[in-house]
Amino acid sequence: MVILETINLGKIYGKKETAVNALKDVNLKINKGEFVAVVGPSGSGKSTFLHLIGGLERPSNGTIKVDGKDICCLSDKELAKYRRQEVGFVFQQYNLIPVLNVKENIELPLKLDNKKVDEDYINDLMDLLGLSERKNHLPNQLSGGQQQRVAIARALSAKPSIILADEPTGNLDTKTTEEVMELLKMSIKKYNQTLIMITHNVNIAKKADRAISIVDGKLSTSENKNSL
């Protein structure tokens, strides 16, 4: 089942002589439960692509369908709701709130959305991500890997159908990277989520169901992972 479809998706930043054609005519279908790695050189449009499908920015051209619904026509308010409820973001910077403890950081998206906290689910998440014994710690009392796991739990707390990750292991050592990847894969399997992850790490791209490559704002044909 297709969860996400982009049709002729494009983004131009700026106007006239300063215009940057960051993304051009991207046509892509991604299935529910799929893990797609996005690779490509720096400045090629990977983050732009993620921001568009996550509703952080609006496209200049084309359409984005999520679960068959066009998100490009949503009002600002509806788009904010889409971001809060349908997608979970994980960035290279963990962006945790320093004065909130682990559990409070994880629950923040639900609180912002006036949602009741499903304690069992949040406890399950913390167990899955190995954070239960750290739930009362503040971010500065955690290692980088632990902070990234909190950021992942926060991204999952609203039970999004799509997880968008922009180089989430970029600041982590090899061992922690592997752990974080295993945990992400485990949680998307358990909760039947779709994961779209930008990465420079060839080993991660090889673990994905599919790797797509964006070069100069254009989608190259889907990569054969063995050629990465």
Residues binding ligand ADP (CB under 6 A): 13-14, 20, 22, 40, 42-48
CB 197 within 8 A of CB 30: no
Quote the least distance from Cβ 120 to Mg ion, whole Å. 36
Tokens, residue 16: 């006239």
Question: How many residues line the site for Mg ion (CB under 5 A)?
Answer: 1
Smallest CA-to-CA distance from 137 within 147, 122, 124 is with 147
Quote the least distance from Cβ 188 to ligand ADP, whole Å. 22
Q: Is 169 in the site for Mg ion (CB under 5 A)?
A: no
Nearest residue (CB) to ligand ADP, 52 versus 156: 52
Residues 32-71: x/- map of binding to Mg ion (CB under 5 A)? ---------------x------------------------
HEC string of 67-103? CCEEHHHCCHHHHHHHHHHCEEEEECCCCCCCCCCHH
CB 169 within 8 A of CB 197: no
Nearest residue (CB) to ligand ADP, 22 versus 150: 22
Nearest residue (CB) to Mg ion, 102 versus 204: 204
DSSP letters for 116-151 = PP-HHHHHHHHHHTT-GGGTT--GGGS-HHHHHHHH
Q: Is 193 in the site for Mg ion (CB under 5 A)?
A: no
Tokens, residue 95: 């962006």
Answer with the entry of ligand ADP, Mg ion, none that 144 interacts with (C-beta below 5 to 8 A by kind). none
